[in-house]
């Protein structure tokens, strides 16, 4: 019983320290946000939409791999060491949502409208 407890404790400590990468969230407000043009604000909000879509795909892929690695860990314990359990993508996704909301508030405060496409 003590050996099993020691293994579980070591595994938990390892996962807490190494199981994934640290979050790198974007700041909600950045210097110069208020001075940006309407087109610049719209372009950055569109870029954030793309990043949010990409981050959601990363979360889905991570969850799929974690399930595969977890099940594989019952056959070879080594696979458990490659699981990503830090939830850094969720932190980054929340930060992107907050950044988009802040930019959207500035966009609406300036009474901006979505740019129309220009045809040649």
What are the φ and ψ backbone dihedral angles of 115, each rounded to 5 degrees? -65, 145
Q: What's the pLDDT band for 16 if we cut at 50, 70, 90? A: low
Query: For the segment 59-83, what is each residue's pLDDT rounded down to a tens digit?
Result: 899 889 888 888 988 888 777 777 7
- Of the candidates 53, 37, 52, the residue with the CA atom closest to the CA atom of residue 115: 37
- Range of 74's domain? 2-109
- Of the candidates 65, 87, 72, 64, the residue with the CA atom closest to the CA atom of residue 15: 87
- State the Cα–Cα distance between residues 63 and 56, nearest whole angstrom: 11
Neighbouring C-alpha atoms within 13 Å toward the C-beta of 5: 2
Q: How many domains is the chain partitioned into structurally?
A: 1
Residue 117 domain-assigned? no
Residue 47 domain-assigned? yes
CB 98 within 8 A of CB 28: yes
pTM of this prediction? 0.70
% of the chain surpassing 70 pLDDT: 87
The C-alpha R_g of the chain, in whole angstroms, comes to 21
Residue 118 domain-assigned? no
Residue 114 domain-assigned? no
Residue 115 domain-assigned? no
């Amino acid at each position: 019983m003590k050996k099993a407890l020691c293994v579980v404790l070591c595994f938990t400590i390892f996962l807490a320290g190494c199981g994934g990468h640290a979050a790198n969230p974007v700041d909600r407000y950045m210097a110069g946000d208020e001075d940006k043009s309407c087109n610049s604000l719209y372009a950055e909000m569109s870029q954030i939409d793309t990043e949010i879509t990409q981050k959601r795909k990363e979360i889905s892929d991570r969850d799929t791999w974690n399930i595969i690695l977890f099940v594989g860990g019952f056959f070879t314990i080594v696979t458990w060491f490659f699981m990503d359990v830090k939830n850094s993508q969720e932190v980054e996704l929340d930060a992107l949502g907050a950044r988009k909301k802040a930019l959207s508030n500035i966009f609406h405060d300036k009474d901006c409208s979505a740019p129309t496409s220009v045809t040649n």
